[in-house]
Amino acid sequence: MSAMDIHEVLKYLPHRYPFLLVDRVISYEPGKDIVALKNVTINEPFFNGHFPHHPVMPGVLIVEALAQAAAILTLRTMDSKNSDDSVYYFVGIDGVRFKKPVMAGDQLILKVAIERQIKGVWKYSAEAEVDGKLVTKAKLMCTARSVK
């Protein structure tokens, strides 16, 4: 189990502001699981329109944050890093449930576990929590594809 600061995270994800949604990896075990975090601040660009009078993080961005954590876990499992030759894509999202809104000021804890990998498609169980309470859960499927 190891941790990763933002400088290490940037080596594994191609995302940059405003779409980088993982601030730190708290722990991970290659081939098994990862726990990461996203600090949700009022400075996020989506809060200007979602919603100005009641700032709520869009659910699709919570799911994207979970997928970014899954990408880091997969690359660490494969002993690989981000490259210009491939992109890690979503290929499926099942059973997404939003239990509670995520607000400006929350610290979103992202928990992703590998369920299986078949023919280059990885399946994960994923949960996001705030203050120890489940806010989102989903099954994610992702794969790497060549872009060249």
Q: Which domains does the chain have, with CATH numbers?
A: 6-146 (3.10.129.10)
What residues in the chain have per-residue pLDDT under 70? none
Q: What is the pLDDT, as a whole number, of residue 122? A: 96
Question: d(Cα 47, Cα 104) in Å, to the nearest integer?
Answer: 8
- Tell whether omega for the bond before 18 is within 30 degrees of 0, i.e. cis: yes
pLDDT tens track for 102-128: 999 999 999 999 999 999 999 999 999
Q: What is the pLDDT, as a whole number, of residue 85? A: 83
Q: What is the pLDDT, as a whole number, of residue 115? A: 98
The pTM assigned to this predicted structure is 0.95
**Torsion angle of alpha carbons 29, 30, 35, 37, nearest 10°?**
130
List 7, 15, 50, 53, catalytic entry: 50
Q: What is the pLDDT, as a whole number, of residue 102? A: 98
Quickly list DSSP for 2-67.
--B-HHHHHHH----TTS----EEEEEETTTEEEEEEE--TT-GGGGTS-TTS-B--HHHHHHHHH
Take residue 122 and report the two structure tokens written for it: 């990885």
Question: d(Cα 37, Cα 120) in Å, to the nearest integer?
Answer: 26
DSSP state of 119: T
Integer distance in angstroms from the first to the last C-alpha of the chain?
34
Whether 50 is a known active-site residue: answer yes
